[in-house]
Structure 1
Amino acid sequence: MTVTIQELEMPAARLLLAHDAPRAQWLEARQAGLGASDMSTIAGVNPYKSAYELWLDKTGRAPSKPVTRRMRMGNILEPVVREIFEEVTGLTVQPCGLLESVDHPIFRCTPDGIIPAAGRGFEAKNTNWRQKDQWADGEVADHAEVQVQTSMGVTGLPGWYAAAVIDGNPDDFHYQLVHRDQALIDLLFEMGERFWRDHVIADVPPPITATDLDVLKLLNRDVKRSSVERDADTVAATLSEYRAAAAAEKQAKTQKDAAQARLIDLAGDAEEVTVGGEKQFTYKQTTRKGYTVADSTYRTIYVPKVKA
């Protein structure tokens, strides 16, 4: 049966929860399937969460994490992004709810809104200057692309608006209509089904990566045993990897310090270094505000990234 919300038909979906359902029901439903934002993690384009942390979440092992200011700001600014989008486009965004794919029921999406008049969905993002280039020239960030394509796979809709405000600045607003890419949707669903089968159902964790350092520290913050026995080969291999990385890190720091010293020598008492009149890097004074110590003024090297 085709689900209809706010006069918008979504032929591939069923409504699991209304947009104003209790939070406890939302959390329970999230754990029982893969949401659109989960797919950005599985696809490897979520800079804030790894597949291992997602596995912890879906298997009920994830530690409770404090709500950060950035997370709070995202929730606060979502309605602002929506209102700016409505003002700029003249389109009206309506609330939706939690939707589930009829043909692939492990996939769900929670649209930030739907646009019945346009037959499209809506996704709002509050991001920072590091992601700004990904929203330039009519593009959308990779994680947002994966998220909205998954949402189109769940709902059957042909397009999805993605809008973003950079660093909370309403004058730095971007939006783009993302068109349905069925080949990408099929690939994402295949990846998601493999993750669900091989890791969640099989209860086998994905490989641990550097992104997992903080969550593992949080998960293991308390000492509960005096010792634990592990496989000798695994311990030896991991210790060897750590020692090699530490040595490489130390060497890299030495090389970086030497290069920085040479850059400072090139700058001398100038604030900017140019070649043929074009700026290459700066060596500016920066004032650090004092808290328990007095204010101090120092200079920092900034080397811009090479343009592709």
Structure 2
Amino acid sequence: MSVQVILPADRAAWLDARKQDVTASVAGALLGIHPYQTPYGLWAEKSGRVASDDTDNPVLRRGRLLEPVVIEMLREDRPDWTVEYRRDNAYYRHVEHRIGATPDAFATRPDIYGRGIVQVKTVADDKFRREWIDADTGEVVLPLWIAVQAIVEATLTESTWACVAVMVIGRGIDLQIVDVPLNTRVMNRLRREVREFWRMVEECREPSIDWNRDGASIVDVYRDSMPDRKDLTQVIGLDGTVCAFWDARQDYSHASKIMEATRPRILHALGAAEAGFTKNWNITARTSVRTGPNGQPVKSRSLRISPKENPDARF
């Protein structure tokens, strides 16, 4: 297997190395099982039509900062394991298949032959119960996209086993260790999907669009217009789509005008009171303060209305 190992000098070099491949963390998108990425979104990114979002966010920051803590918990909970944690962002890529991965850690253990990969995850306890626990059996069931990520990491590093060490964060912290079966059929199918994906990128062919999830990517891909007038009469169903958009915009415009006209009357009736009621409605309009563009305080009142369950009640 032609696998190249890249030791990036910094985060920028690591991100640059990943651009040429489908990486393990998003591979599940090509199998239709990724909650945060789609084939079209990945195609838009890898074809250069949109920029990849490499900015840190609270969830990524949590994972990055707590990763060493998870490793220490793993060492405490599995004292008979030898855990190798380099923190060097070593990037493994199959040159021909253009699949890549950065394992978090490696380990050896007495009950399984050979070296394995350890994938580290952190998750809030409510999300863990919702997405990681089987409602019928109460057992931990690994999300499929995470299992695919572990399988890719193990395959590229020629590891004999894989596991996910997930820190569950609630009032305290708990560590769950989940073994991942190395299903060769999953990897074989992924290779086929990745091969077709790169062919579509090279031929400028779009993958199937998920209209419920790909809206933001489509808007980003077609953010720049050209001085052209296009005949769209042959696009099946587009007239109906345009009509639906037109109707919704007219309804929104009409609703906005009504809200603009009625809001001042309601606030005038409330005066300085932050809450009030009519026979059928409860009303609140509390003042909030935000910082303006020049650092000045900007006050506003958010008007909220809800129907009264009992019209005869005084609240």
TM range (shorter): 0.5 to 0.7
Q: Deviations over 1:195-236 (max 9, x none)?
A: 222x22222121222222223344555x655764253222x6
Q: Is the 8 A contact 1:135 1:174 kept in 2?
A: no
Of all paired residues, the percent bearing the same amino acid is 21
Q: Is the 8 A contact 1:63 1:219 kept in 2?
A: no
Identify the residue that residue 126 of structure 1 maps to in structure 2.
Answer: 122
| Structure 1 unpaired stretches of 5+ | 1-11, 248-287, 300-308
Cα gap change, 1:241 to 1:80, in 2 (>3 Å): farther
Q: Deviations over 1:141-193 (max 9, x none)?
A: 11111111122222222211112234566534322111211122212222222
Q: Deviations over 1:251-271 (max 9, x none)?
A: xxxxxxxxxxxxxxxxxxxxx
CA distance, structure 2, for counterparts of residue 180 and residue 138 of structure 1: 18
Aligned residue runs from structure 1 range 3-152, under 5 A:
12=1, 14-18=3-7, 20-63=8-51, 65=53, 66-90=55-79, 91=81, 92-95=83-86, 97-101=90-94, 104-116=96-108, 119-128=115-124, 129-136=126-133, 137-152=139-154
- Corresponding pairs, count: 245
Cα gap change, 1:228 to 1:47, in 2 (>3 Å): farther
Identify the residue that residue 231 of structure 1 maps to in structure 2.
Answer: 232
Q: Is the 8 A contact 1:82 1:93 kept in 2?
A: no
Q: Is the 8 A contact 2:101 2:156 kept in 1?
A: yes
Cα gap change, 1:154 to 1:122, in 2 (>3 Å): same
| Structure 2 unpaired stretches of 5+ | 134-138, 248-284, 289-299, 308-315
Choose 115-124 or 288-297, whichever is displaced more: 288-297
CA distance, structure 2, for counterparts of residue 131 and residue 227 of structure 1: 50
Q: Is the 8 A contact 2:45 2:52 kept in 1?
A: no
Q: Is the 8 A contact 1:13 1:155 kept in 2?
A: no
CA distance, structure 1, for counterparts of residue 177 and residue 245 of structure 2: 41
Q: Is the 8 A contact 2:116 2:159 kept in 1?
A: yes
What amino acid maps onto 1:59 in structure 2?
S
RMSD (Å), alpha carbons: 3.5
Identify the residue that residue 191 of structure 1 maps to in structure 2.
Answer: 193
Q: Is the 8 A contact 1:33 1:107 kept in 2?
A: yes
CA distance, structure 2, for counterparts of residue 80 and residue 114 of structure 1: 15
What amino acid maps onto 2:91 in structure 1?
L
What amino acid maps onto 1:41 in structure 2?
A
Identify the residue that residue 208 of structure 1 maps to in structure 2.
Answer: 209
Using the size of structure 2 for normalisation, the TM-score is 0.65
Identify the residue that residue 240 of structure 1 maps to in structure 2.
Answer: 240
2:125 maps to 1:162:
no
Aligned residue runs from structure 1 range 284-299, under 5 A:
291=288, 292-293=300-301
- SS of residue in 2 equivalent to 1:40: helix
Q: Deviations over 1:83-111 (max 9, x none)?
A: 32222222323236111237x54122111
CA distance, structure 2, for counterparts of residue 169 and residue 81 of structure 1: 16
Cα gap change, 1:100 to 1:64, in 2 (>3 Å): closer
Q: Deviations over 1:25-74 (max 9, x none)?
A: 32232121221123111111111111111112211222354543223333
CA distance, structure 1, for counterparts of residue 141 and residue 66 of structure 2: 21
- SS of residue in 2 equivalent to 1:119: strand
Using the size of structure 1 for normalisation, the TM-score is 0.66
- SS of residue in 1 equivalent to 2:22: coil
- SS of residue in 2 equivalent to 1:233: coil
Identify the residue that residue 292 of structure 2 maps to in structure 1.
Answer: none
Choose 77-86 or 175-184, whichever is displaced more: 77-86
Q: Deviations over 1:97-138 (max 9, x none)?
A: 111237x54122111111255610011122343453443324
What amino acid maps onto 2:93 in structure 1?
E
Higher-Rg member (1/2):
2
Q: Is the 8 A contact 1:48 1:211 kept in 2?
A: no
